[in-house]
Amino acid sequence: VLPFPSQVVYNRVGKCGSRTVVLLLRILSEKHGFNLVTSDIHNKTRLTKNEQMELIKNISTAEQPYLFTRHVHFLNFSRFGGDQPVYINIIRDPVNRFLSNYFFRRFGDWRGEQNHMIRTPSMRQEERYLDINVCILENYPECSNPRLFYIIPYFCGQHPRCREPGEWALERAKLNVNENFLLVGILEELEDVLLLLERFLPHYFKDVLSIYKNPEHRKLGNLTVTVKKTVPSPEAIQILYQRMRYEYEFYYYVKEQFHLLKRKFGLKSHSRKPRPRPEFFIPSPLETEEPIDDEEEDDEKWLEDIYKR
């Protein structure tokens, strides 16, 4: 019997499918009887030392078993004398994530035409309707670094250098993925992410895939799709790709690790060398493929080692 982790943290990255996953977690928490701890704070990912201590204290004293979720950069519980929880997360193609956020801030999603006005009431009309190509090509702050350096800090942590685009933050983020995260999936293969979460954390995610595929749940999920997205020009996309080179190095690293994990547990992945430019605008998660026979070390022993870290 695998150890049961009673403390799980999903420090969800913005615009990486987290609202879809949180919808699932609300259903699963009632179904399986774990404590889903959410936060009303959505726009404070960087914390002072005192804020880190306070949040870790609040999380650690929640009724167990719990799954805590919030948009917040990685917290090192052991640094403050706490027990390190099991971390999970999901990322996506960096340019796709940026574009989703750009239009979501301006126009919201299908849940209501006025949601975006509530979310960004102080945004001036000329800013709301700013053409994405103008923003990128004329180097507006929203479309240039350091704002484009977004995914890596969620894994690097709270150190000030984690906010600076560069090798230091990239390598620290990779190290944390290896040492502190049970699973980091990619949104483009969400069904496989859910399959692995069900395998690794059945007390939390049992039956998650059948719930996700339920037509009624799909209707709810479709309401969280960002509206009024437009495609930037090839020139603008190429500039974004260059500005996000560290984000892409991290994304490809996570993707490779995720595919290794899929293979380990019998899910096929078509491994191929990264293209010189990323694939954009994948319309839907890839279908889960048939398992393959593969001689691997005992997967339960591997999972037990993860829990003991």
Q: Where in the sequence numbering do the catalytic residues fall?
A: 71
Q: In the numeric block, which tokens belong to residue 256?
A: 């490779």
CB 30 within 8 A of CB 91: no
d(CA 293, CA 84): 34
DSSP result, 188-243:
GGHHHHHHHHHHH-HHHHTTHHHHHHSHHHHHHHHTTSBPS--PPPHHHHHHHHHH
CB 46 within 8 A of CB 222: no
d(CA 237, CA 240): 5
One-letter amino acid of 214: N
Which residue blocks in 33-93 are alpha helix, DSSP H? 49-60
Which sign does the torsion angle of CA 121, 124, 130, 136 carry? negative
Burial of 288 (0-12, 13-18, 19+ CB in 10 A): middle
Count of Cβ atoms closer than 10 Å to residue 111 Cβ: 14
Q: Which 8-state DSSP code applies to residue 78? A: G
CA atoms within 13 A on the CB side of 291: 9
